[in-house]
Amino acid sequence: MLEQVQSERIQTDRTMIEIRDVTRSYGSFKALDNASLAIREGEFFSLLGPSGCGKTTLLRMIAGFDTPTGGSIAVDGQPMEGIPANRRPTNMVFQSYAIFPHLNVEQNVAYGLKRLKLDAGEEKRRVEEALAQVSLTGLGKRRATEISGGQRQRVALARALVMRPKVLLLDEPLSALDKKLREQMQVELRRLQQAVGITFVLVTHDQYEALAMSDRIAVMFGGRIAQVASPKEIYQRPVNRQVADFLGGMNFVKAEIVEENGASLVLDTLGFGRVRTDKPKAFVRNGGAATLGIRPERLRVLWDNATAKFEVAGKVVERHYFGEITHLIVEIPGLEKPLSVTETNDFGADDIPVGAPIRLAYDPEALVAMAD
Amino acid sequence: MTATRRFLPGWLSSYATLYILFLYLPVIFLPIFSVNTAATPKFPLSGVTLHWYEDLPKTPALIDATWNSLIVGVSASILSTVLGILAARSITRYRYPGRRAINGLIMAPLVLPEVIVAISMLLVMLQLGLSLSLFTVVLGHVLVCIPYSMTVLTSGFEGFDRSLEEASADLGESAFGTFRRVTLPMVAPAIISSLLVCFTISLDEFIIAFFLTGTEATLPIYIWGQLRFAAKLPGVLALGTLLLLASFVLMTIAEILRRRAARRTQNEGGLYA
């Protein structure tokens, strides 16, 4: 909640990066196909997708390491066409960090400042400030080969931030770190972005990373942008099965369209009966069929005689224990595929025997209609 | 040491000792006989003297040959290293059809019979109307040095993380500035190492120099000439010892530098962290 408030403070409605109909072809292969996107000033924006979806290509084109074969990119209102990487108001944190191995931490951070010909005191002050921002104060004299992976990443961040770019580009910056450190860095990166107020563009294939850090996310598949929205909307209202499937688990249920009007849909399903849902913005009907989705955590186990207004009944066929949660596979009569259910373990979901009858409650709000 | 003893049965370590002896015994004889007072290389030594070494600088022909060798060595090492840099950069950095074949062809002089290479080069030089001189020797040596230069340089350039150059550009540096501030410092050890290796090879090279030299002898040619006179043998042995020492020192420095370069270019990123 606090973050939401803060982010509203630093974000403006001004467009920082304007990507218009950008295409990048290699022969007949299109790494990026007519992508359009407007990234706002002060926003933490993520490009999310599986490998080969074009997210890195797009990031490298913003940085100036790659050139679009069609369309245009503008940063802060200035068209980037013909402007080489070294004259763009962007800085990048590389996936490999690209720390200069022959320089120490301080020299790495000061690398870009050298060209600005600042006086010695000012340069030193800015280096110190950047090192402090990434909690590396006192490590300036360490050799680049003498620091840990997490520290290398901080050096890469400091080296880019010290240039005070208009946009900071991050190419899978956390993928080389172990899980614990990665989660810690997610929080820190978000905090840092809020503190410096610079537009961050992050490339990642990790949906949790994108959900945890971003103001908005663009989900990409096969060189196309599938959906651009806030993390919550992307997760709760995915535009299609592909997006839904990529972000966490989703149960897909076959549905038939009974009624369609401006804002809502009425669907007939076998397991969930007749359902009225919001019509997604990008919904384009494809014949009479559609898909209804529900997240595994939005299905709740009903204990003993408890009842709910909306429920489905079935039988537990598998149970998987994950520590804080249990993952149940529940067969529902009439559904061609069993439902996935995740339930926290505080009421003993980990003790439900396989084969037991079970009733599941759901909120119709949690049902998402997707075009087939 | 203890580990070696535990894992090597007795016969294996004696085999290893014999092996090393076989490789280096002949070389050991050189310095031993070079301090013998008698002119004939025979045990027992009749006495120890540095007389033969003191005589070396007093031989004008030897001084000339040394100068010639230095000129050829320096020229050949610079030329082959420059060519080697270009080739090694292209082979380690770009992917193109025929890359492996080109690499193979550049490395081939390493295994071609040297006499044949020397004769072919002689024919070519004569066809081109070049008169034999130190210049033709340099050309010949460049041919044999390039494979060595390539080996050293590719190991130094291999794994050069391209994102380092991109990072430099990203931080505002120009292409030339990037070369000066990132590329060059990182590959400098490999380049120096290549220069040293090529110089050493050229300094010791005999066959090609023998065919391609005109009236100016290089050191190995001079030594060859001196071998006809039994009385000159101790002097040759003394000279040989010095050459051996020089080669050994140069190659050691070159190897240290090559390893340092290989270590430097590997930007381990977070992958091993």
Residue spans per domain, chain A: 2-236, 249-371
pLDDT given for residue A10 in this prediction = 62
> Would you say residue B78 lies in a domain?
yes
Distance of alpha carbon B264 from alpha carbon B260, whole angstroms:
6
pLDDT over 80 at A8, yes or no: no
Please give the class, per CATH, of domain A2-236.
Answer: alpha beta
Note the pLDDT of residue A175: 87
- Count the alpha carbons within 13 Å of A96 in the hemisphere toward its beta carbon: 17
Q: Chain B residue with minimal CA distance to A155? A: B269
* Distance (Å) from the alpha carbon of A50 to chain B's nearest alpha carbon: 20
Look at residue B273 and tell me whether its pLDDT is greater than 60: no
A146 → chain B, closest CA residue:
B273
- Residues in chain B with CB shorter than 8 Å from the CB of A97 are 267, 269-270
Helices B60-93 and B99-107 cross at an angle (nearest 10°) of: 170
CB contact under 8 A, A101 and B186: yes
Q: Quick one: average pLDDT of A25-53?
A: 93
Put simply, whether B168 touches A (Cβ < 8 Å) is yes
B251 belongs to a structural domain: yes
Residue B57 clears pLDDT 50, i.e. is over it: yes
Give the distance from residue B72's alpha carbon to the nearest chain A alpha carbon, in angstroms.
Answer: 33
pLDDT for residue B266: 56
Is A97 close to B269, i.e. CB distance below 8 A?
Answer: yes
Which class would CATH give A249-371? mainly beta
The verdict on residue B119 lying in a domain is: yes
Mean pLDDT, range A335-360, rounded to an integer: 89
B215 located within any domain: yes
B168 vs A contacts (CB less than 8 Å)? 100, 111
Chain B residues with CB inside 8 Å of A102's CB?
Answer: 185-186, 264
End-to-end CA distance of chain B: 31
Q: Residue A306: what pLDDT?
A: 85
Q: How confident is the model at residue B272 (pLDDT cuts 50, 70, 90)?
A: very low
Cβ separation of A148 and B269 shorter than 8 Å?
A: no
**How far apart are the CA of B151 and the nearest CA of chain A, in angstroms?**
23
Give the mean model confidence (pLDDT) for residues B204-222: 89
Q: Is the pLDDT of residue A2 over 80?
A: no
Q: Which domain does B147 fall in, by range? A: 70-265
Contacts with B172 from chain A: Cβ below 8 Å: 86-87, 112, 115-116, 163
In a domain, B23, yes or no: no
Segment A319-339, tens digit of pLDDT:
999 988 999 999 998 888 899
Rounded mean pLDDT of B123-147? 91
CB contact under 8 A, A98 and B172: no
Tell if the CB–CB gap between A96 and B163 is shorter than 8 Å: yes
- Predicted structure pTM score: 0.77
Chain A residues in contact with B161 (beta carbon < 8 A) = 96, 98
pLDDT exceeds cutoff 60 at A1: no
- Please name the residue of chain B whose CA is at the shortest distance from the CA of residue A158: B171
Query: Which chain A residues are within 8 Å of B268, Cβ to Cβ?
Result: 145
* Residue B270 in this model has a pLDDT that exceeds 50: no
**Do A292 and A275 contact (CB within 8 A), yes or no?**
yes
B185 touching A (Cβ < 8 Å): yes
pLDDT of residue B235 exceeding 90: no
Question: Does residue B3 form part of some domain?
Answer: no
Identify whether B28 is part of a domain. Answer: no
User: Contact A91/B170, CB-based, under 8 Å?
Assistant: yes
The domain spanning residue B255 has which CATH number? 1.10.3720.10
As a whole number of angstroms, the distance between CA A334 and CA B148 comes to: 74
Residues A80-133 pLDDT 10s: 999 999 999 999 999 999 999 889 999 999 999 998 888 889 999 999 999 999
Q: What is the pLDDT of residue B3?
A: 57
Residue A37 tokens read as: 């996107």
Of A280, A283, A226, nearest to A37 (Cα)? A226
CB contact under 8 A, B166 and A98: yes
Residue A281 has pLDDT above 80, yes or no: no
Decide if B49 is inside a domain: no
Q: Do B273 and A176 touch (CB under 8 A)?
A: yes
Taking one residue from A and the other from B, the number of pairs with CB-CB distance under 8 angstroms is 95
Which residue(s) pair with A225 in the sheet? A220
Residue type, A334: G
Strands (E), chain A: 15-26, 29-40, 44-48, 70-75, 78-79, 90-93, 167-171, 199-204, 216-221, 224-229, 251-260, 264-268, 274-278, 289-294, 300-302, 311-321, 325-331, 339-344, 357-361, 368-371
| Residues forming beta bridges with residue A202, ordered by sequence position | A46, A170
**Number of domains making up chain B:** 1
Instruction: Select from B186, B268, B270 the Cβ nearest to the Cβ of A153.
Output: B270
Interchain proximity B166–A102, CB inside 8 Å: no
Choose among B161, B177, B186: nearest Cβ to A96: B161
Task: Please give the pLDDT value at position A4.
Answer: 46
| Least confident among A168-172, A285-289, B145-149 | A285-289
Classified as helix, coil or strand, A272 is coil
